[in-house]
Structure 1
Amino acid sequence: MQLIDSIVTESPALKALRRDLHAHPELCFEERRTSDLVAERLRSWGVDVYRGFGRTGVVGAIRGRDGGQSGRMVGLRADMDALPVTELNTFGHASRHSGKMHACGHDGHTAMLLAAAQHLARTRDFDGTVVCIFQPAEEGGGGAREMIKDGLFDKFPVQAVFGMHNWPGLPAGHFAVKAGPVMASSNEFRIRLKGRGAHAAMPDLGLDPVPAACQMVQAFQTVVTRNRPPLDPAVISVTMIHTGEASNVVPEFAEIEGTARTFTTGTLDLIETRMRDIATHTAAAFGVECDFEFRRNYPPTINHAAEAEFARGVMVETVGADAVHEFGPSMGAEDFAYMLQARPGAYLIIGNGEGGHRDPGHGAGPCTLHNPNYDFNDDLIPLGGTFWVRLATAWLAR
């Protein structure tokens, strides 16, 4: 493993910064303290700082020895927001804000990109411009989309953009990447059924929405098993059913909510159409009214082949071929998808290990993403920073 010496030297300070971010998590579009800290560090290193993209986003433009005159630009993106999760860890840098936690490692993503920015700003041993994108609101707010709407790629017309996420279960010191779909689209549905309340001992006097809701939940799974090709991955998960207030009352209303995930728009169109048909006709069969809502959130994250292969080459040069893997697509979602719709690029994975890195005082549960026992592996900071530097300089040198 070939790490950059100056990044290794600075890693204790960046570890402290990462832990400070972990102790002070901020939810989507609330990342004011985080953004101020990022901007202050970048300016202290002589980086040109731009703000106002996606409300709380920060962009650091690092121009090389040519002053950026070549027009070559490459974008590196890190997300900054936390999750509405109550942390169970009790170590010294655990969250100080109840109900908020860096349970996905965005604090570490920020630290890795800052490590790269510090080295690039000191050396500027490249021609062109490295655009460091510190993005808010990945966790449901669509911060990437909002930064683009605010002119991110108009101001910084990068030729390629790359994002990187830590991955528990993949050993520390390992990377993964693949061309094509790597993360699914994220979509939500909400179905409200209206019946007619009655005494539970006399259900014939009412119109019970509960049997209709139960029938729908079962029928939705036939969309996955019977309406789409078996080799085309898709998920329909009903995650909430709300109905009733008393055991002896037929309720007036029932609500069903959940998520649908696909890798292609065609499959998503099919799922939405079939779910609407099932909900509407099942409700009619039970004599209740139906209000069906289907909201499309993040599109699928689809890596561009040339950029994914380029990143793979840099990974191999950094950690060796045995530590570089094919990333199996995940049904999770990622709003970096919007950036890949706007520019060529790739979404990359860096291993976070199995959780043995956590300080004493961590929770008893697993160190997995979106888990209250999670913590980012600080050993990744010099590795991630080194990789970002080598990726950016190699891209600009092409």
Structure 2
Amino acid sequence: MTPVCPFVKAACPDDTSSRKSGNNLVKHQSETESKVKKDSSESTNPSPKCPFGYDSQTFKLGPLSCMVCQALLFESSKCVPCSHAFCKLCISCFKDCPLCGADIEKIEPDAKIQDVVDHFIEGHARIKRSHINTDKEEAETENKPVIYEDVSLERGAFLVQQAMRAFRAQNVESAKSRLNLCADDICDQLERMGNTPELCSQLGAVLGMLGDCCRATGDASSAVAYFEESLKFLSKLPKDDPEIIHTLSVSLNKIGDLKYYDGDLQAARSYYSQALDVRRDAIKQHSKVPSQILDVATSLAKVADVDKNIGNKNLATDGFQEAINMLESLTLKSESGGLEQRRLSVLEFLRNQLADKQPE
């Protein structure tokens, strides 16, 4: 299956779900790179290089990155007396400088380098060199004007990549800052171009990542708001793609999980049921896709678990048994190790639930 995530080159906060969101951005980048290669074969126009060492293929940064989280500096702070700069959160847990080992007497904000970082983000992926006439002297070439062009899709991939690096290092505020910038960029395009599938896919993915950030910090209400906003855009996409369906159902389940742990079981059941309906509709069109059958069984387990907790014992038993039957009849290929592990895990949970008899 083709992944839906427009930012597949960036590892997402929730590896089990948000990795599976759309690839429109990567397709755009691939087409752009092909065009650039074609153009370069027709002229001697050198590809522009970032003076800070940014590499669009590997997302490497030089002096503007924090060596602790490996992402762009956020709330840049310098160690005194060595003056090495890190993200404020990243350096806060160190007594010695991670770079040179010097004792840290105090930590001070470094507004100067943060200003450079902010300007770098603002200008990233917006510069293109003008075409060069091969007959012109090199000296003339250097005087050619720089053309500024908004290539915000590339900027979006860059921001998401930096956000995910920060997220993995638990610098959640840094991740949220980059994702919010990316969301703002996409919203600006939506105003100009309307709700195109590509933009809705991108914004749905980014809002879902922001929801994951809020969930990681325990801010359940904000997480729910982001996931619901994500659903609004994902629901605009065609429902004939299995990965779009999966992403929609995962977002519904995430809201259900947050409601479940908040003690609102009725609301949790409502969201779990919506996810189950989306997944049931999916297997009507793609009945032989093992991952979708696993998704339906997982949703059945979630709904049945809530039913069990609110006293709907018969409904719970029926749900658990239906899920067990689906998983026991599911045949996976030998190379599907990850799916098999998930199948066995869900199956064990279901059997334990049925074995756990509630007192009358």
TM (norm. structure 2) is: 0.25
TM (norm. structure 1) is: 0.24
Larger helix percent: 2
Higher relative contact order (CA 8 A, sep 6+): 1
